[in-house]
């Protein structure tokens, strides 16, 4: 098939330029001697050192990671069990529940945010880490369910039957047969839950309380009063970590792909 | 799986439990520098969870939305103190626990919104004024009406505060700043719509940045913001308009059923310490109300006409008043002009 | 463990979750949207339709229309950028495709607010873009690139574009290449191939992406806050203000309910056009 290679490359280049432009600016200014992110005045590593003294920022980072880890673990477990239950069992209102699960995926986050805020207030829950984690769990679970379900649907139902014919208990079958087979779906669901939690602004904005500042909320407040380059420095470090992790993941998937092609 | 759940529970518990002594402070943004909070934590071992708001209305919403006792210290302005008092949202202030209370300038004590300072201790005074970058604008500006000049298209930054901005539109038309007369408010609305093309942005948190970066050449903003902009660019002139201007006295107050009252008094007393107040005023030069701090403040503050506002000028300032249910008129008008 | 008990253990979590964390909060919002608000924050539990009537006030209708227009333009621009990009990527070999798609994801794994901040550094009057254009003498006066609708749309497109690229890419990669080759052999023009093969095959991805871009764009108040300069309001800001400054929860709830209705309408259209719900959250 004839395609216009030059045009293709141009399009790809322009889109990548657009995607990476603001990121590159942020990285550049993390090395800037001026504390205002306006013009580049000279090179320094000062902000990387200063970052370690910015306790508010570091605490926000700690909270963010803690919330992301806990909400990912919980939503992955609940999501996996739920996906399995929805596939294997019949129960009253199953169809309704199935529909309700899409709500957090499709409605604007702000609706979920304020409805959680209202219900927390109604139940006299104090806003803080707990309410924040609960909120993150509640918007992550459907993504895990959908991701697990897509693998579950392609699973051969005879496998479970064979296991029980061989005398394995249901629970054993679930843990030793089903879970390992579902692992790709579970992992991609967990990854999605983790990234959604790390970057959530809208829902956190309504459900956080004193002492539970997250990184996105911290950035939101400093954008209003003036961002210092130590925030840029933190983002640069985070980007580096993400880049390394993704590169490793890509190399692994490329290897697999090679094997599949060969074998 | 049980193990995972147990580990999780432990994690959640350690994440939320208050084993350390801590207080939850809710304050205006750009009001107390981080350094003050840090040295307080260092000196007392009390952890401060610090969060911010950008208008009295936001403060009220945060306090009434949160469970009682969520916040231990807030900084409402005069009229908001009245509103909160009426709604039993404030604890009485035990002044005997505040050694440094005597430092406060008596001119700022015992005011109408809190006779006898039963609920509040004044923190600073703030006025809203016009700041003009003389590098860009050479015309004489003495009145709010001068801002309507079409020359200033997209050049003005305003604080994002409905009571004050609508109030100054009323002043510009010769009405009372706190008018609840619907016809007068209609005139104010028309005035603000005329001003609209000139507005670059509404920003309460750091409007000075617009002036410093030359993004806007005129600002209607809090005096400390103007003072800081002046520090960066001496060609910024500050103007108290002929029609009058808004004055606000911000106070420290303890919300009803705050959980850590004893610790909060430690914090308030710390803030009232002359050297601490100096550090605060140096960072955010509002009008100082602490007598003992006066002799510590440098020429930077004393010679800055936007920071060290003479008492005679302060006396002319107008307070935003509690207008009760009529605030709905302001809410609607605000949505209409934005 | 009996299998009956096991059954309950499996079923309970999803029931508890949907009832307590999805259904109840939404029902509660629905209920309070019919309450009256007392001045200064409280709610009076008497039935009223006043909040819904108020939405039809010209001010608020204006905000609804503005939000829908901004979300619509954002969606169209996302399609216009993503389509050529995804097709261009699909012309590369599989390995290179994997690498390119990984690179696409990188910016979106960082904090979305800090990316908005990155845009303010670029777009403001003293920002990098204006500095460059002025030093090249292309313009003499700085352009207003933010604190207006343009800035907001740039921010929205930038934040939401992966939700368009990913589903489009996965639907483009399912197109049978031999079909395209056969079409070329039969003398089909590029446009014919696009219209008759590529477009129908990628419709599901396109709709999926459009939905995942359009509805969030109605509510992303933080983009409007950062790039709109506080003088532009979309539905997200309006709801946020009712809850966090104007203290009128019932009215805020009524706007939120209307937003849900708009979403449901969009979903119904999506389903009518043959869209599958499971595809929406599958990334």
Helices B274-283 + B261-271 axis angle, to 10: 70
Total domain count, chain B: 2
| DSSP-based three-state secondary structure for C57 | coil
Cα separation, C19 vs B200, whole angstroms? 46
B166: in domain = yes
Q: What does the DSSP 8-state code read for residue A40?
A: -
B66 interfaces chain A, CB cutoff of 8 Å: yes
Contact A85, C10 (CB under 8 A): yes
Within a domain: B289: yes
Specify whether B214 is located in the same domain as B281: no
Q: Cα torsion for B123, B127, B128, B129, to the nearest 10°?
A: -140
A127–B209 CB contact, under 8 Å:
no
Confirm whether pTM is higher than 0.80.
yes
Could you give the CA distance from residue C167 to residue C280 in angstroms, rounded to a whole number?
9
Q: How far apart are CA B179 and CA B176, in angstroms?
A: 5
Four-residue CA torsion sign, B64, B66, B71, B77 = negative
**Lowest pLDDT segment from A16-20, B11-15, C21-25, C113-117:** B11-15
Residues 6+ positions from B225 with CB-CB distance below 8 Å = B30, B131, B206, B207, B208, B219
Residue count of chain B: 338
* Cβ-defined contact of B24 to A210 (cutoff 8 Å): yes
CA distance readout (Å), C221 to A225, C67, C229, C247: 18, 11, 12, 17
> CA distances (Å), B284 to each of B28, B225, B226, B280, B298, in order?
11, 7, 10, 6, 13
Number of Cβ pairs closer than 8 Å across B and C?
Answer: 67
**Count of alpha carbons within 13 Å of B252, Cβ hemisphere only?**
25
Paired with B156 in beta bridges are B199, B218
- Residue B318 parent element (H or E): strand B318-319
CA distances from C241 to A145, A224, B56, B107, C155 (A): 33, 17, 13, 36, 21
- For residues B326 and B186, state if they share a domain: yes
The distance of Cα B140 from the centroid of its chain, to the nearest Å, equals: 28
Q: What's the CA gap between A30 and A25, in Å, rounded?
A: 9
Instruction: Give the H/E segment covering residue B126.
Output: strand B120-133
* Domain shared by B220 and B184, yes or no: yes
Evaluated on CA atoms C267, C49, C35, B164, the torsion sign reads: positive
Q: What is the pLDDT of residues C224-260, one digit of tens each?
A: 999 998 889 999 999 999 998 888 899 999 999 999 9
Please report the pLDDT score of residue A185 as a whole number.
Answer: 94
Chain B hits for C230, Cβ within 8 Å: 160, 201-203
Q: Quick one: C55 exposed, middle or buried, by C-beta within 10 A (0-12, 13-18, 19+)?
A: middle
**Segment (H or E) for A24:** helix A5-29
Residues B202, B323 within the same domain: yes
C229 touches chain B (CB under 8 A): yes
Length of chain A equals: 263
Cα of A253 to nearest chain C Cα, Å: 9
3-state class of A257 per DSSP? helix
Are residues B207 and B158 part of one domain? yes
Q: Is residue B14 part of a domain?
A: no
Q: Do B67 and A125 touch (CB under 8 A)?
A: yes
More confident residue, C279 or A25: A25
Read off the pLDDT of each residue in C197-205 and give the average, rounded to a whole number: 87
Give the distance, in angstroms, between the CA of residue B6 and the centroid of all CA atoms in the same chain: 45
Angle between helices C112-123 and C221-228 (to 10 degrees): 20
**B194 interfacial to chain C (CB closer than 8 Å):** no
Q: What is the pLDDT of residues A87-99, one digit of tens each?
A: 989 988 999 999 9
B135 and B222 co-located in one domain: yes
Q: Is residue B226 in a domain?
A: yes
Residue B105, pLDDT score: 94
Nearest CB to B60; choose among C40, C147, C230:
C40
Q: What's the pLDDT score for residue A1?
A: 45
Does residue B313 fall inside a structural domain? no
Q: Which of C251, C211, C216, C250 is nearest to C236 (CA)?
A: C216
Residue B74 main-chain phi, psi, to 5 deg: -135, 170
Q: Is-contact A177 A160, C-beta < 8 A?
A: yes
Q: Give the distance from residue C206's alpha carbon to the nearest chain B alpha carbon, in angstroms.
A: 35
Give every residue of chain B whose pLDDT is below 50, as ranges: 1-2, 15-18
Name the residue among B199, B324, B336 with its Cβ closest to that of C231: B199
CATH-assigned architecture of domain C58-279: Orthogonal Bundle (1.10)
Q: Is B66 on the interface with C (CB under 8 A)?
A: no
pLDDT for residue C194: 82
Q: C241: nearest CA in chain B? A: B58
- B10 occurs within a structural domain: no
At B300 the pLDDT is 87
- How distant is the alpha carbon of residue C64 from its chain centre? 15
Which whole number is the average pLDDT over A96-116? 93
Residue C83 pLDDT more than 70?
Answer: yes
- The domain A55-227 having CATH identifier 1.10.3720.10: the answer here is yes
- pLDDT value at residue B136: 93
Instruction: Flag whether B193 is in a domain.
Output: yes
Hey, is A124 helix, strand or coil? Answer: coil
List Cα–Cα distances, A107 to A104, C3, C5, C53, C75, in angstroms: 6, 37, 35, 23, 16
Report the pLDDT value the prediction gives residue B4, as an integer from 0 to 100. 53
A88-147 residues touching C, CB cutoff 8 A: 88-89, 91, 97, 100-112, 114-119, 122, 134, 137-138, 141-143, 145-147
Please give, rounded to a whole number of angstroms, the shortest distance from the CA of B271 to a CA of chain A.
20
pLDDT of residue A253: 78
Q: Are A178 and A160 in contact (CB under 8 A)?
A: yes
Q: How far is the C-alpha of A214 from the C-alpha of A198, rounded, in Å?
A: 9
Rama region for B248: left / alpha / beta (φ>0; ψ in -120 to 50; rest): beta
Q: How far is CA A134 from the centre of its chain?
A: 15
Domain of B206: which CATH number?
3.40.190.10
Summarize pLDDT for C155-198 with one digit per residue, the tens.
999 999 999 999 999 999 888 878 888 888 888 888 888 888 88
**Shared-domain flag, residues B45 and B133:** no
- pLDDT at position C39 is 66
**Which chain A residues are closer than 8 Å to C253 by Cβ?**
114, 118
Alpha-carbon gap: A194 to the closest alpha carbon of chain C (Å): 10
Can you give the pLDDT at residue A263? 47
Beta carbons of B78 and B111 less than 8 angstroms apart: yes
3-state secondary structure C136-150: CCCCCCCCCCCCCHH
Q: What is the pLDDT of residue B104?
A: 95
Which residues 19-78 of chain C have a CB within 8 Å of chain A? 21-26, 28-29, 32
The answer to whether A54 and A237 are in contact (CB under 8 A) is: no
Q: Is B58 on the interface with A (CB under 8 A)?
A: no
Query: For residue B255, what are the domain limits?
Result: 20-123+249-307
Residues B106 and B157 in one domain: no
* C111: nearest CB among A19, A134, A216: A216
More confident: C213 or A261: C213
Question: For residue A249, what pLDDT is reported?
Answer: 83
Sorting pLDDT into bands at 50, 70 and 90, what band is A260? Answer: low
Residue B233 makes CB contacts below 8 A (sequence gap 6+) with: B133, B135, B211, B212
DSSP per residue, A188-226: HHHHHHHHHHHH--HHHHHH--TT---HHHHHHHHHHH-
C253 touches A118 (CB < 8 A):
yes
d(CA C107, CA A15): 12
- Is residue B77 one of the residues assigned to a domain? yes
- Whole-angstrom Cα distance, residue A82 to residue C17? 9
Q: φ, ψ for residue B310 (rounded to 5)?
A: -60, 150
C232: three-class secondary structure by DSSP: coil
Percentage of the residues of chain C whose pLDDT score is greater than 70: 98
CA distance B115 to C199: 74
Q: Indicate the Cα dihedral angle B84, B90, B96, B99, nearest 10°.
A: -70
């Amino acid at each position: 098939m004839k395609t216009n290679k030059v045009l293709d490359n141009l399009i790809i280049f322009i889109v990548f330029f657009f995607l990476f432009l603001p990121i590159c600016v942020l990285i550049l200014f993390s090395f800037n001697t001026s504390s205002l992110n306006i013009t580049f005045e000279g090179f320094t590593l000062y902000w990387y050192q200063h970052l370690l003294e910015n306790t508010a920022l570091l605490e926000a980072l700690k909270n963010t990671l803690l919330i992301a880890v806990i909400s990912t673990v919980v939503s992955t477990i609940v999501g996996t069990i739920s996906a399995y239950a929805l596939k294997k069992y019949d129960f009253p209102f199953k169809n309704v529940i199935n529909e309700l699960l899409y709500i957090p995926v499709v409605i604007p986050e702000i609706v979920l945010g304020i409805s959680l805020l209202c219900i927390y207030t109604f139940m006299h829950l104090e806003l803080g880490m707990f309410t924040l984690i609960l909120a993150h769990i509640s918007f992550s679970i459907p993504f895990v369910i959908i991701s697990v379900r897509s693998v579950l649907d392609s699973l051969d139902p005879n496998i479970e039957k064979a296991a029980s014919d061989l005398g394995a208990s249901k629970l054993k079958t679930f843990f030793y047969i089903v879970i390992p087979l579902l692992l790709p779906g579970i992992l991609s669901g967990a990854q999605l839950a983790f990234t959604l939690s790390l970057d959530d602004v809208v829902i956190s904005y309504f459900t956080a309380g004193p002492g539970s500042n997250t990184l996105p909320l911290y950035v939101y407040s400093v954008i209003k009063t003036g961002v210092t380059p130590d925030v840029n420095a933190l983002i640069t470090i985070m980007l580096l970590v993400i880049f390394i992790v993704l590169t490793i993941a890509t190399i692994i998937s490329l290897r697999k792909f090679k094997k599949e092609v060969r074998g | 799986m049980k193990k995972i759940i147990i580990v999780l529970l432990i994690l959640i518990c350690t994440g939320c439990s208050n084993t350390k002594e801590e207080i939850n402070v809710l304050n205006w943004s750009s009001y107390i520098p981080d350094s003050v909070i840090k040295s307080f934590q260092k000196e007392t071992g009390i952890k401060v969870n610090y969060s911010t708001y950008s208008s009295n209305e936001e403060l009220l919403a945060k306090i009434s939305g949160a469970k009682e006792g969520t916040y231990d210290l807030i900084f409402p302005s005069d009229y908001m103190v009245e509103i909160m008092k009426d709604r039993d949202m404030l604890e009485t202030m035990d002044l005997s626990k505040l050694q440094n209370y005597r430092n406060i300038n008596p001119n700022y004590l015992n005011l109408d919104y809190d006779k006898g300072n039963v609920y509040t201790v004044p923190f600073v005074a703030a006025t809203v004024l016009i700041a003009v970058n003389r590098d860009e604008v050479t015309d004489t500006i003495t009145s709010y009406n001068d801002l309507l000049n079409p020359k200033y298209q997209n050049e003005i930054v305003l604080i994002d505060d409905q009571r004050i901005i609508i109030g100054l539109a009323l002043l510009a038309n010769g009405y009372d700043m706190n008018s609840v007369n619907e016809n007068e408010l209609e005139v104010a609305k028309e005035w603000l719509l005329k001003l609209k093309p000139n507005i670059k942005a509404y920003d309460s948190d750091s409007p000075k940045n617009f002036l410093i970066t030359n993004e806007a050449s005129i600002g209607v903003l809090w005096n400390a913001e103007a003072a800081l902009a002046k520090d960066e660019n001496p060609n910024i002139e500050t103007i108290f308009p002929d029609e009058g201007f808004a004055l606000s006295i911000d106070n420290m107050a303890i919300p009803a059923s705050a959980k850590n009252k004893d610790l909060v008094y430690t914090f308030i007393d710390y803030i009232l310490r002359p050297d601490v107040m100096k550090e605060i005023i140096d960072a955010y030069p509002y009008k100082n109300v602490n007598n003992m701090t006066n002799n510590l403040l440098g020429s930077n503050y004393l010679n800055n006409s936007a920071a060290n506002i003479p008492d005679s000028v302060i006396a002319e300032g107008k307070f935003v008043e509690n207008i009760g249910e009529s605030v709905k008129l302001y809410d609607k008008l605000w949505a209409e002009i934005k | 463990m009996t299998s009956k008990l096991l059954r309950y253990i499996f079923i309970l979590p999803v029931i508890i979750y949907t009832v307590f964390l999805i259904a109840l909060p939404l029902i509660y919002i629905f209920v309070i949207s019919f309450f009256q608000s007392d001045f200064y924050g409280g709610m009076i539990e008497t039935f009223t339709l006043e909040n819904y009537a108020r939405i039809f006030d010209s001010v608020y209708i204006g905000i609804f229309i503005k939000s829908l227009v901004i979300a619509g333009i954002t969606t169209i621009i996302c399609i216009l950028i993503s389509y050529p990009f995804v097709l261009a990527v699909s012309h590369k070999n599989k390995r290179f495709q994997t690498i390119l798609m990984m690179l696409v994801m990188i910016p979106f794994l960082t904090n979305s607010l800090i990316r908005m901040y990155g845009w303010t550094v670029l777009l403001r009057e003293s920002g990098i873009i204006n500095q460059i254009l002025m030093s090249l003498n292309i313009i003499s006066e700085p352009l207003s690139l933010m604190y207006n609708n343009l800035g907001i749309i740039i921010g929205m497109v930038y934040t939401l574009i992966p939700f368009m690229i990913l589903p489009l890419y996965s639907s483009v990669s399912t197109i049978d290449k031999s079909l395209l080759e056969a079409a070329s052999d039969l003398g089909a023009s590029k446009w014919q191939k696009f219209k008759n093969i590529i477009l129908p095959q990628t419709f599901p991805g396109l709709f999926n992406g459009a939905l995942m871009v359009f509805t969030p764009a109605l509510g992303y108040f933080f983009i409007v806050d950062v790039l709109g300069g506080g003088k532009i309001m979309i539905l997200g800001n309006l709801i946020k203000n009712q809850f966090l400054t104007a203290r009128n929860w019932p009215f805020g709830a009524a706007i939120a309910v209307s937003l849900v209705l708009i979403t449901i309408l969009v979903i119904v259209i999506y389903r009518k056009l043959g869209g599958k719900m499971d595809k929406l959250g599958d990334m």
